[in-house]
Amino acid sequence: MSRHREPGRPPRPAAPWSRGPGRRPIILPAGACLAWDLWNFRTLFPDAGGDELLAVKRDQDAILAREREALARLWSGDQVLLSPGRDYLAARPELATGITVSLHTGPYQLLAEPWLDAGLEPLILLNQRALPRFRETVEPLSRRLGHSRRVGWAAVGEPGFMRAVMTAARDGRPVLAYLDGNSGEDGATGTRERGLRYELPGRAILVRTGLARLACRLGCPLHRVALRWDAGRVAWDGAPSLAPGLRDDPDAVTRELFDWAFGVIRARPAQWQYWAMLRESSACFTAARLDDSRPSPVLLDETRSAFLACCDRASGSVRLVLDHEIEVWSGDVLADLTTDRFYPAAGLAEEDLTILRVGQPTLGELREHHGDTWLRFHGLRLCLLGIARLGG
């Protein structure tokens, strides 16, 4: 059977352990994957153990299977799945204008459909990475359903995106945004370095305030809506709309939005498809808090001398042994799972670690695979951090 997807057909929903909505699962060693997921899970449930995490994963798998069946029926012409959203909007005419804030929960890809069905032209605000994926999902389905209107798109960081959002809001067009996208023009790194600190039960994260600042500036209502699967049907849940103005504090509005968001997520954790958001925005990953401690000058010189001597004279017999479970996060954080410590990645990439995980390569094999510069910098640094050691 061909693995190619039918042109225009929406992609499969995200797997529970993928890094974001609509992405393929990342293949990791089972222990490392569970360790990271549990570390992440404890951001919201600090006392959770492996059993609680695995129970949520089983629920995610069951929801994913039902979701694929339901979306297949929708693509085949069965529109029963869309009725709850259309009824929800019809009962709340105020949602025809202002900013509707939602989450990556349940069938979040269907968020825009009720507005299109009502003959409106919603503008979806999202980050640049997500734009192609959303277009690939929303536009073909909209054409198949015969909507007379089209979705507008505003990708954060593209020229004129803020003007487009402000114009839509002032003209009374509905603006739809995913709060947990949490990515401004400078991405996850910018969020971690300049975001608003938000305390969760297990650890602090950093969040963006842009939506709240925009709403306060325009005096624009913020409507809160989340979708979820309920026994193969779509349920729409909401909270009272907020009405921020120029005198309101955007930070306070942001905290109120995220209080609602994480209340929704904690109530039904298996419905959330963007757990990577917590990892990417963890406050412990900010540059100022990353652990870049070094050993004493004497030990530093001794380790460096011994390592370089082995590189020069015994690279064919001395091996680099990885003692800790490690991963590179967001391209700039080296995370030590074994000790729960975090360091600057300093240019180390996640794919660089594969050769260390699958065996105990000699220094010569590492040089052949990565190059001499990589070996003398990253190989030595892993030893200095106590993550790896030289062995026979």
pLDDT digits (tens, 9 = 90+) for 338-392: 887 888 889 999 999 999 998 899 999 999 999 999 999 999 999 999 999 999 8
* pTM (whole model) above 0.85: no
The percentage of the chain sitting over the pLDDT mark of 90, rounded to a whole number, equals 53
Of 19-23, 80-84, 131-135, 223-227, the range with the lowest mean pLDDT is 19-23
Structure tokens at 9: 């057909």
Structure confidence at residue 319 (pLDDT)? 95
Of 33-37, 168-172, 222-226, the range with the lowest mean pLDDT is 33-37
Give me the residues paired with residue 334 across strands: 328, 343
128 or 210: which carries more pLDDT confidence? Answer: 210
pLDDT digits (tens, 9 = 90+) for 57-70: 999 999 988 888 88
The percentage of the chain sitting over the pLDDT mark of 70, rounded to a whole number, equals 85
How large is the angle between the packed helices 363-370 and 297-313, nearest 10 degrees?
A: 80
User: Chain-centre distance of CA 338, in angstroms?
Assistant: 23
Q: What separation in angstroms does the CA of 341 have from each of 10, 24, 78, 278, 337?
A: 40, 28, 50, 16, 7
d(CA 215, CA 206) in angstroms, rounded, equals 20
pLDDT bracket for residue 1 (50, 70, 90): very low
118 or 21: which carries more pLDDT confidence? Answer: 118
Of 77-86, 188-197, 269-278, 381-390, the range with the lowest mean pLDDT is 188-197
Structure tokens at 322: 């990885």
pLDDT digits (tens, 9 = 90+) for 8-56: 444 444 444 344 554 333 333 444 457 778 889 999 999 999 999 999 9
C-alpha torsion sign, points 166, 198, 237, 82: positive
Structure confidence at residue 3 (pLDDT)? 38
Is a pLDDT exceeding 90 seen at residue 106?
A: yes
Is a pLDDT exceeding 90 seen at residue 267?
A: yes
Look-up of token digits 């989450």:
103
pLDDT bracket for residue 256 (50, 70, 90): very high
User: Chain-centre distance of CA 123, in angstroms?
Assistant: 22
- Residue 16 CA neighbour count, 13 Å, CB half: 22
What's the rounded mean pLDDT across residues 158-164? 82
Cβ neighbours of residue 39 closer than 8 Å, sequence gap 6 or more? 337, 340
Is a pLDDT exceeding 60 seen at residue 96?
A: yes
Instruction: For the chain, give percent helix, strand, coil, nearest 5.
Output: 45, 20, 35
Q: Under a CB-based contact definition with an 8 Å cutoff, are residues 214 and 220 in contact?
A: yes
- What single string gives the DSSP state of each residue in 345-364? -TT--GGGGHHHHSS--BHH
pLDDT digits (tens, 9 = 90+) for 304-332: 899 999 999 999 999 999 999 898 887 77
Q: Is 31 strand, coil or helix?
A: helix
pLDDT bracket for residue 210 (50, 70, 90): confident
What's the rounded mean pLDDT across residues 121-141? 82
Mean of all residue pLDDT scores within the chain = 85
